Structure 1
Amino acid sequence: MTTSSHQPPRPARSGRVRAAAAAATVALLAAVAGCSLLGGGDDDVTTPRVAAADERTDEPGGTLRALSLGPVLTWDPQRIAARDDAAFAGRTFLRTLTAYQPSTDTRNQSRLVGDLATDTGTPNEDLTAWSFTLREDIAWQDGSPVTCEDVKYGISRTFATDVISGGSTDALAVLAVEKLPDGRSLYRGPYAAVTAASAAAGVDSFDRAVSCRGTTITFTLASPVGDFNEMVTQPAFAPVKKSADKRGDGTFAVFSNGPYQLSAPWRPSTGGSWVRNPHWKSTSDEVRQGYPDRIEYVEGIETQTVAQQIMADGDNARAAVSLGSAPPAIQQHIVTVDSLSDRAVTAGTGLVDYLVPNVRSAVFASVEARQALAVATNRAAYVTALGGAGTGRPAPSLIPEVLPAHHDENPLASGDRGDPDAAKALLGKAGLTIPVPIRVAYRSSPVADKAMAALVAGWTDAGFAPTLSPLEDEYFSTIAQPAAATAYDVFWSNWAPAWASASTILPALFDSTVNLSGGGPGRDYGYFADPGVDTEIARIGTIADRGEREKAWAALDVRLQTLGAYVGLAERRSLYIAGSDVRNLSANEVIGGVVEFADIAVRR
């Protein structure tokens, strides 16, 4: 049960002239370095570790420069949608009831701990109510305490959909707040005038669903949610102090309860300076270390320029870290030069590219034909065309490696490079005559054009006759239209989890009860519908034990792959580099494969 949205990488803002100049610079850099450019896609390409090799420090102080292309669209908790912005906010100024504990070991990055709350919450027996008790000694930047009412008020803002938009709407979906016949919430948020009887009833309904008793907040849910305590790690569930709420004018307003606060108003497309919140106490925070005295966040710098400045390690770059992944063309240089690789890290982002066979297509109506597409798909070639091992890793599953539900089963046993002969045999079982024409829709970009073209050879060898259909504008809304079901046989898509559970992946994409309607396929672009799968999705959501629940999601994922519901392609990767004075550099895969600001430090 989730409202996660597609999380594609932010588009570069450069034009043809700038791109040409960048390419020339990269070529010159490679020539000087005497190394080959990344892009071979070999399985043994060296990539940096998730934590840098430079020595650690526990000494506070210094100024860290965070360099980014940007732009940050908002710092409002209930408006934040971008995963990298949510990760930065959640480690610097914005605390939630629970959080994922930082770790340099990816196996531990999905460990949930209490953040504002003393623990990870207590559900009732049927998982329809959750209670959290707030810690003591947590304060806003003005010294006032963070209260249960502040958490409740923050969540109430999500319901003000006429004022607050862009962020997660999971609160609207799961809280037991009455709805109108058209599906809208009876409660209209904290800004609506309570004049009519229906408006007052909406307030009463919200007050019953989210209630405070001293320092304990209790949520009553419309149906069981086994991982609600993970759902509340999202910024949309963060507290907001009512007296500091800027409402419609608060896009970049920050009122901190974390280790840092803005020293002056945020400057869009330029950035801002984060300084210590004097009222934050490390003793009440088991997530954040808050080592630097100051973080200078600078946006508006091209990603390649950022990487080159930090690689050069000049005076203004020794205490700097890149917030964008280094371009593929210079990644090989970074990972093969010891002095650079020692201060670089790489991480899976959780964003998985995949293909969706259209079951309403005459070609893919049978499971054997869908299996044939999966078996014929050369994921290794796709990753090579993306830019190589630093930009992605072959992924037969939609469940990223860092999630507890991840598994290594590949039920169709095709391997990363595909098996054309086995695919041909499956097409024969499907009763299809070779060559089998298929129309493949995908979101066009220079990199995507190359990556999709790299799949054609394997499909052709297997007996398909593919026609690629690049779409540029409004891609996802286009393929969600009913007309797309008769225009295309296969759709490219991507997806990232909203928190560390497959509950934010498989139900959102393959539960036909919430996706398929006369208006279109929702996120289930291939119109996959299986009553047994729908029943299992509902059952898994009621499993209380996290370990058992995620095992069940893993088993369901194997079932979906076997049925040919989707074909996994690659999990995207990011590579970050820091200056020689940056310490404790690591990347966190569970919150989006981003630089971990909870632990980063600067050598003084």
Structure 2
Amino acid sequence: MSSPIRRHHPRPQRAHVRALVGLFIVVVLGTAGGCSVLAGGDPPTTPAVTASHERTDERGGTLKALSLGPVLSWDPQRIGARDDAAFAGRTFLRTLTAYQPSTDARTQSRLVGDLATDTGTPNKNLTAWSFTLREGIAWEDGSAVTCEDVKYGISRTFSTDFITGGSTDALAVLSVPKKPDGTPIYAGPFVKAAPNDPGRAAYDKAVVCRGTTITFTLSAPVSDFNEMVTQAAFGPVKKSTDKGGDGTFNVFSNGPYKLAAPWRASTGGSWVRNPHWRAATDEVREAYPNTIEYQEGIETQTVAQQIMADGDNSKSAVALGSAPPAIQQHILTVDALKERSVTAGTGLVDYLVPNVRSKVFTSVEARQALAVATNRGAYVTALGGGSTGRPTASLIPEALPAAHAADPLKAGDRGDAGQAKVLLGKAGLTLPVPIRVAYRSSPVADKAMASLVAGWTEAGFAPRLTPIKDEYFTAITQPGAAANYDVFWSNWAPAWASASTILPALFDSSINITPSGPGRDYGYFVDPKVNAEIVRINTIADRADREEAWTALDVRLQTLGAYIGLAERRSLYIAGSDVRNLSANEVTGGVVEFADIAVRR
């Protein structure tokens, strides 16, 4: 199912709300990695996400990165795609904190200081965070990266008339007053304003530089603000290089690579070493290749076939797009190909939402019955098999600290039609129970949704699938959609490595449901106790305790039938025989990890 992740900016109706944006995806105190031992079930066993090809620590050579693209922007505050954000963050854009690369998905959520010396210091009530910049970090012209550069970069996010496409979390959380329409009184650095402009004064009060220390004052507690700042939108920009809101592909590097020449849209560019990057200041990036030749505009299937053939022009190449399912099966059955491939979870989870305003799903037992009758295994098979997805009852991806293997309704991957019938009986419904199911149509989606019909029918439902091809998410957020459908298909991915970027955005009715529609709460799920628990969890300072609380809330939501997990999507990447250290990072979207990749010379 080829739907892109779609995110609406939740309406800021309550102080704790944060806008969740884009694809990095669309979120921490401490630096402990791995899965916590959590209530409701043991953590899932997550395999290493690395190719079996031998490793190397040799520097040098040229790596070819091949992609369909297009990259829409390399501007830090405009980057919206997770794969673009991941590439930028490992090559030319450093942020205050970052997730340390690992070949084991269980430790990829370990947070470390990047531009900052550590992962930040909050005040007692989590309404202010301070970070001190490392010494010796330089731009590609040799000038030092300063606190003011970080402050200026973030200020550009407020220029919503000029800067679009990236995360706007800064607008939601920084202590900058809002106008009656909910927009900040600060309009960013590109709007001419008087020296005593209240908007500028408000921003200067919310983001303060004192020497090498930057302090953020927030409008409400944000317990994982130090994870939020891993996003590209919180990256620095040197004011003197800024093109006044233009310059979509203007790159001025503070990482190990810089563009050798201006980026060519639909073609790509050559990334060469930034001579002013110092490895001693960087605990995230190894930067093994001398050059990364990034080529876009090549069909994904063509890329995979060229690299599989391993000709002279492909030996040092890596595919940035997942191989098509038919090709994946061949790669995984040929040892010589399998050893130079890697499969990883993307964090993108497909799920179903029962509409609690429909007559069918007003009762919890009816919602539970649909969940118990859902055959996730069949859904994954229809997607293309285990290399394209894994069955999951949870919206929390495997690589996140809050991940768990709980199955509170005991449905298993294949469902239980008999138990579902019992639940429908408890709901007082007469069999068969008609249900109207809306989903975003595509050839793969049509097959995947059709695979669910048999299990639902056996359980006593009479499903009618409604494929919607155009503007799917716009259609299901219209107020009238609740009267037309009983179940909605959707997908979601976290913006950073916390369930705080999943559960509040989808199930906090106070920030979603209005007379104009449900926001991302498509099923109109309303539970004041859930809303109150979201508020409480956002004030828990300890990361392990906080993520355990998110786990418990997720189990509660599953038990209430608020949603039905289907599958976490997976990607498979292949590289040429001269590429070494091939791995994928599940925390940043299951994309190729450029912090560690190398080329045999």
Give TM-score, length-normalised by structure 1.
0.92
In structure 2, how many angstroms separate the alpha carbons of the residues matched to 1:327 and 1:246?
Answer: 39
Residue matched to 1:566 = 563
1:12 matched residue in structure 2: none
Matched residues in 2 for 1:173 and 1:48: separation?
A: 36
Of residues 242, 251, 255, the one that matches 1:254 is 251
Matched, 1:169 2:168: yes
Question: Deviation per CA, 1:133-152, whole angstroms, max 9, x where unpaired?
Answer: 00000000000000000000
Report 1:161-200 matches (<5 A). Answer: 161-195=160-194, 200=197
Aligned equivalents of 2:327 and 2:48: distance in 1? 17
Task: State the SS of the aligned residue for 1:509.
Answer: helix
Mapped contact 1:177–1:185 kept (Cα < 8 A): yes
Deviations along 1:170-227, one digit per CA (max 9) or x if unpaired, are: 0000000011111110000001111396xx0010000010000000000000000000
CA contact (8 A) 2:24 2:496 kept: no
Residue pair 1:60, 1:293 contacting (<8 A) in 2 also: yes
What's 1:459 paired with? 456
Give, in angstroms, the shift of residue 248 of structure 1: 3.1
The corresponding residue for 1:337 is 334
The whole-number CA distance in structure 1 between the counterparts of 2:19 and 2:92 is 24
Structure 2 counterpart of 1:22: none
For the residues of structure 2 that align with 1:143 and 1:568, how far apart are their CA atoms?
A: 49
What residue number does 1:123 align with?
A: 122
Unaligned segments of structure 1, at least 5 residues: 10-46
2:501 counterpart of 1:485: no
Query: Which residue matches 1:589?
Result: 586
Q: Deviation at 1:2?
A: 4.1
Counterpart of 1:517, as a letter, is: T
- Separation in structure 2 between the aligned mates of residue 298 and residue 236 of structure 1, nearest angstrom: 24
Deviation for aligned residue 1:3: 3.1
Cα–Cα, structure 1 residues 420 and 432, in superposed 2: closer, same or farther, change >3 Å? same
Contact between 1:49 and 1:346, CA under 8 Å: does it hold in 2? Answer: no
Match in the other structure for 1:138: 137
Shift of residue 107, structure 1, vs aligned partner: 1.1
Aligned partners of 2:218 and 2:538: how far apart in 1? 13
8 Å Cα contact 1:533/1:556 also seen in 2: yes
- Deviation track 1:366-399 (CA, whole Å, cap 9, x = no partner) reads 0000000100000000000001001000010000
Give yes or no for the alignment of 1:4 onto 2:3. Answer: no
Relative distance call for 1:538 and 1:379 in structure 2 (3 A) is: same
- Unaligned 5+ segments in structure 2 are 1-16, 26-45
Question: How far apart are residue 7 of structure 1 and its match?
Answer: 4.8
- Match for residue 428 of structure 2 among 428, 431, 434: 431
Q: Report matched runs for 1:175-574 at 5 Å.
A: 175-195=174-194, 200-574=197-571
Q: As a proportion of its length, which structure holds more helix?
A: 1
Please name the residue that 2:39 is paired with: none
For 1:362, what is the secondary structure of its paired residue? coil
DSSP-derived class of the 1:347 partner:
strand
How far does the alpha carbon of each residue in 1:494-523 deviate from its partner, in whole angstroms, 9 at most, with x for none?
Answer: 000000000000000000110111111010
| TM-score, with length taken from structure 2 | 0.93
AA aligned to 2:19 is T
Aligned residues: 565
Deviation string 1:413-466 (CA, Å, 9 cap, x unpaired) is 000000001001101100000000000000111110100000011100010001
Q: Distance in 1 between matches of 2:62 and 2:361?
A: 57
AA at the equivalent of 1:55? E
Measured in 1, the distance between the counterparts of 2:457 and 2:162 equals 51
Higher mean alpha-carbon deviation, 221-230 vs 51-60, is at 51-60
Instruction: Assess if the C-alpha contact under 8 Å between 2:23 and 2:495 holds in 1.
Output: no
1:5 CA drift (Å): 4.6
CA contact (8 A) 1:6 1:496 kept: no
Deviation of 1:477 (Å): 1.2
> What is the deviation of 1:473?
1.1
Structure-2 separation of matches of 1:6 and 1:376: 32
CA contact (8 A) 1:7 1:351 kept: no
Q: Where does residue 79 of structure 1 map in the other structure? A: 78
CA–CA distance in 1 between the matches of 2:315 and 2:264?
24
The amino acid that maps onto 2:527 is: D
Q: Secondary structure at 1:158's aligned position in 2?
A: helix
CA contact (8 A) 2:48 2:103 kept: no
Instruction: State the alpha-carbon separation in 1 of the partners of residues 244 and 115 from structure 2.
Output: 23
Q: What is the match of residue 43 of structure 2?
A: none
Per the alignment, residue 88 of structure 1 pairs with: 87
State the Cα deviation string for residues 56-81 of structure 1 (Å, max 9, x = none).
11111000000011111110110111
Structure 1 pair 288/85, CA: closer, same or farther in 2 (3 Å)? Answer: same
Specify the code of the residue in structure 2 equivalent to 1:415: G
1:303-338 Cα offsets, whole Å, 9 max, x none, are 111111101100000000000001100111111111
Q: Distance in 2 between matches of 1:251 and 1:474?
A: 26
C-alpha distance in structure 2 between counterparts of 1:7 and 1:539, whole Å: 26
Overall identity of the aligned pairs, in %: 78
Tell me if the contact between 1:8 and 1:494 (Cα under 8 Å) persists in the aligned partners: no
Deviation at 1:557, TM superposition (A): 0.1
Provide the secondary structure at the position in 1 that maps to 2:117: coil
Letter in 1 for 2:188: G
Letter in 2 for 1:421: G
Letter in 2 for 1:281: R
Determine the C-alpha separation between the residues in 2 that align with 1:393 and 1:286. 32
Deviating beyond 4 angstroms after TM superposition, the runs of 4 or more aligned structure 1 residues are: 5-9
| Residues 369 and 421, structure 2, Cα contact 8 Å, conserved in 1 | yes
What is the aligned partner in structure 1 of residue 40 from structure 2?
none
Per-residue deviation, 1:49: 5.5
**Partner SS for 2:463:** strand
Local SS of the residue matching 1:289: coil
Q: What letter matches 1:151 in structure 2?
A: V
Q: Secondary structure at the match of 1:559?
A: helix
Cα distance in 2, alignment partners of residues 510 and 48 from structure 1: 30
